[in-house]
Structure 1
Amino acid sequence: MPESDIIPWSEGSWTHAPAHLASDGDHLDATAVEGSDAWRHTAYGFVHDTEHALLAPLEVGEAMDVSFRAPWDGQFDQAGVFVRTDDEHWIKAGVEYADGHLGLGAVVTDIRSDWSVGYVDDWHGSEITVRVSRWPDAVIVRARADDGEWRLVRVAPFDGEGTASAGPFLAGPTRSELVVRFTRWTRSTADVALH
């Protein structure tokens, strides 16, 4: 992967403030508000726009990596990277604990949300890194556990003309005790190939 620059936690702006934040400079511990989530319409019939996303500009040709750890024991606990143009156009990519399994996937929202997910139960206890690369017409999502191989998660259409921002996110739809430790946030050059 290309060389990367560390993004200070203070550089981003929250879409919705977490219940609690603590940092020693190296890591950022964020506690989700109970009921926080991001979803629009599809299948469930509701709109949730209460996620906690710490966002900084993401230009075409750039990538962002976010690394984190969490206990993954509450229904729908989630964390990863959020990429946002506006309230109706965004992507959340990362892991979510649901129905006893840890899932790696992405929700791509263009007025309505979709969802793709696959189990990564063996990632419990690992430091997880999610990487988003912004291309002129797409966002490429990759992820890995610890120092493992990068795994392609999603190739999603995304408007290259619009202004976008991205960064760490978490949500706790069903409980108030989810604490995610974000260990790294970096910006680098976007991946140039899918394979």
Structure 2
Amino acid sequence: MSINFNNGKWLNAPVNASEDETSLTITTDAKTDFWRETHYGFTRDTGHFLGFSSADGFTATIRIQGEFRTLYDQAGLMVRIDEKRWVKTGVEFTDGELFLSTVITDGKSDWSVSQPFKELEDFYIRITLAKGAMRIQASRDGSFWPLLRLAPFPIADRYEVGPTACTPERSGLTVRFSEFEIGPATTKDLHDLT
């Protein structure tokens, strides 16, 4: 089911955002981030997130477009229970390149990056969450979906799901989100990449 961006609830709304039924464009504020403790020793819960409520057993897909140029520039999808249990996945600029990045947080954050394709200024992210298992996939064209991560994630009555963007080292990243859908969890085999 297509999601109307007007119906979301902001956590840390950016100063500049424009949403309508089919798209959301934001420009990030300074020093925005989501992270908990691991390696860096700090906790940040200041990133931009537009959440939509969902029960367990869903697949969420979104298209992300932007020009990511500064260390830790990032945008993608977030699934959130509360400030200690959340996932953010999408593009992140690190070590001079764009990577597909996933941070899973259950008390403390972990971080993984991969690069199944390098064209990451216009791409799709898909998250399937059902019965404590989260499948994260990405696509260049919305048709072929390489797996990024399969991980456990806490079971909850409700989740908040939606677009997120952060710029820990600056402000002024403009990101456009579109083609956002949340529907029943896919029943496709793990190795079916369509």
Per the normalisation by structure 1, the TM-score is 0.91
**Mean Cα displacement is larger for which, 52-61 or 145-154?**
145-154
Identical-residue share of aligned pairs (%): 35
Q: Is residue 2:20 matched to residue 1:8? A: no
**Corresponding residue for 2:153?**
158
- What's the secondary structure of 2:70's corresponding residue? coil
Q: Select between 110-119 and 146-155 the one with higher mean Cα deviation.
A: 146-155
Distance 1:120 1:35 in 2: 28
Q: What SS does the corresponding residue of 1:6 show, helix, strand or coil?
A: coil
Q: 1:169 aligns with which of 164, 168, 183?
A: 164
Residues 77-131 of structure 1 show CA distances to partners (whole Å, capped at 9, x for unaligned) of 1001000001100000111011211011210001000011013562144x21111
Paired position in structure 1 for 2:46 = 50
Per-residue CA deviation, residues 40-86 of structure 1 (Å, 9 max, x unaligned), is: 00001010100111111122221111111001112211001000001
State the Cα RMSD in Å: 1.5
Query: In 2 relative to 1, CA 68–179 (structure 1 residues): closer, same or farther, beyond 3 Å?
Result: same
- 1:190–1:152 CA distance, 2 compared to 1 (3 A): same
Measure, in 1, the Cα distance between the counterparts of 2:176 and 2:156: 33
Paired residue total: 190
Match of 1:89 in 2: 85
**Tell me, what secondary structure is at the counterpart of 2:55?**
coil
Secondary structure, counterpart of 1:10 in structure 2? helix
Q: Do the aligned residues in 1 keep the contact of 2:5 with 2:20 (CA within 8 Å)?
A: no
The counterpart of 1:104, out of the listed 100, 105, 108, is 100
Pick from 143, 168, 178: which aligns with 2:173?
178
Moved more, 11-20 or 113-122: 113-122
Does the alignment pair 1:187 with 2:178? no
Unpaired runs of 5+ in structure 1?
A: none
Structure 2 residue 28 is the aligned partner of structure 1 residue 27:
no
Task: From 62, 67, 81, give the equivalent of 1:66.
Answer: 62
Q: Give, in whole Å, the separation in 1 of the partners of 2:143 and 2:172.
A: 29
Q: 1:3-43 CA deviation, whole Å, 9 max, x = no partner?
A: xx110001111111012012454321101111000000000
Paired amino acid for 1:137: G
